[in-house]
Amino acid sequence: MRAPGEALPMTNAQTTNTKNPNAKNADTTNANKKNPKTGKNIHVLISGASVAGPALALWLHRHGFDVTVVERAPALRDGGYAVDFRGEAHLTVLRRMGLLDAVRAARTGMGSMSYVNSAGKPQAKLPADLFAGDVEILRGDLARILHDATEKHTEYVFGDSVTSLTEDADGVTVTFERAAPRRFDLVVGADGLHSTTRRLAFGPEERFVRHLGVHCAIFTTANHLGLDHTGHAYRTAGKLAALYSARHNAEAKAVFYFASEALDLGRRDVERQQAVLAEQFAGTGWECDRLLHAMRHAPDFYFDSVGQVRMDSWSRGRVALLGDAAYCPSSLSGMGTGLALVGAYVLAGELAAAHGDHRVAFARYEEELREYAEGCRKMGDGVARLMVPGSRLMAGLLNRYYQLLPYLPGKNMAARIARRTAENITLRDYGQAG
């Protein structure tokens, strides 16, 4: 339970589950707040309410920590692409969270993906396990499951963002765009590839984010092709467009990738982003023009560069990074979401095992996870060139290779490599830690 004096003061930010409506001062320190399980005065702020943040909140609560999650978006984001879990490490974490059944119930049930020509005629088919792993779920559905599992014991603050972090010997003073300043013992940035927490605590984004030469866009649209738990993809020089069914064929996700140097479009300038996407794909063939028209009416348009994060350290003082903010392997790796959940499990467990001593816990977190995260990152290396080859000749050769793939001896090699990478960690049992 939250102690008096710790509730976030209401401004224009939307706070859900403020657990003590009679709370007094927001900037009161937590110096007298004893955590019975950790033996430390631990009140944790997590920036980011997508996947990694709520997953960490779930584990921290179980270990006796007190958690606040702040999220820039005004509410949970329902859109996004499908994410997958593969191998025993991913499934073990979901099982220990008590969420495996819920995730399986919301799974996409996707089958194989067909590559088509400009007329929509299938040219090659790739098996489901290469894309969907053991369990595939829409990112928005996963975020909802995690939020529902944590909202009763976690203070969620939507529509606000961290603006500064000032650390001293006893904690961190955090200022926000809208709310009054507050004190926390620890701060965790789980705020994605373009992490604000990382920028504030470690420095400019360009020091850590490596652009892979590709931009992507995704949005929800009608399943006008009548796809039945499957998808179609169309590839040409430097471009790939795809449409796959979602939510048991009731809708579809349109996905676009195109090769480009890093573009400075403004992360929230949707109009400009859509204009660039239209410039890239108009007249390209297949269903592109129809999808570009539908894009203008999409409720959840998302556009970003494809990148990886490389850092020598994931913590500085009382601030740590988690998930894509610390070690994004790129959206093309197929490993980011599973890695984020494993990372949340390890970080919370090490904090509990160290009885809240962040210096010990953060070092152990990196020791346990570094090699695993590096392996996941390597899965993203080179994928961009395969997704969007630079010439029409290479695109044609790659399509031809996919046609022959079912008959080649190493047809399942990519899926086996992905599984080995996902399972390349021995998970400690932190159940009794702290």
| Span 195-236, pLDDT tens digits | 999 999 999 999 999 999 899 999 999 999 999 999 999 988
Q: Are residues 245 and 189 in the same domain?
A: no
Which whole-number Å values give the CA distances from 394 to 126, 343, 386, 397, 399, in the listed order? 18, 37, 9, 5, 9
Is there a contact between 19 and 110 (Cβ–Cβ < 8 Å)? no
Q: Are residues 390 and 375 in the same domain?
A: no
Q: CB-side exposure of 40: number of CA atoms within 13 Å? A: 23
Q: What's the whole-model pTM score?
A: 0.86
Res. 291 pLDDT band, cuts 50 70 90: very high
CA–CA dist 195, 57 (Å, integer)? 18
Q: Are residues 238 and 155 in the same domain?
A: no
| Span 139-157, pLDDT tens digits | 999 999 999 999 999 999 9
- Is pLDDT of 406 > 90? no
- Is pLDDT of 15 > 50? no
* Domain CATH number, residue 261: 3.30.9.30
Q: Which domain holds residue 323?
A: 14-78+142-208+310-380
For the four alpha carbons of 350, 356, 360 and 366, in that order, the dihedral sign comes to positive
CA dihedral of 186, 188, 189, 190, whole degrees rounded to 10:
-160
Res. 115 pLDDT band, cuts 50 70 90: confident
- Helix, strand, coil percent content, the chain, rounded in steps of 5: 35, 25, 40
- Does some domain include residue 90? no
Is there a contact between 70 and 47 (Cβ–Cβ < 8 Å)? yes
| Span 49-95, pLDDT tens digits | 999 999 999 999 999 999 999 999 999 887 677 888 888 899 999 99
Q: What is the pLDDT of residue 3?
A: 33
Q: Are residues 168 and 276 in the same domain?
A: no
Q: Are residues 224 and 357 in the same domain?
A: no
* Domain CATH number, residue 188: 3.50.50.60
- Does some domain include residue 194? yes
Q: Are residues 156 and 236 in the same domain?
A: no
- Does some domain include residue 429? no
- Does some domain include residue 169? yes
Q: What is the pLDDT of residue 49?
A: 96
Domain count across the chain: 2
CA–CA dist 136, 154 (Å, integer)? 26
- Does some domain include residue 204? yes
- Does some domain include residue 124? yes
Q: Are residues 230 and 348 in the same domain?
A: no
Q: Are residues 196 and 302 in the same domain?
A: no
Q: Are residues 149 and 180 in the same domain?
A: yes
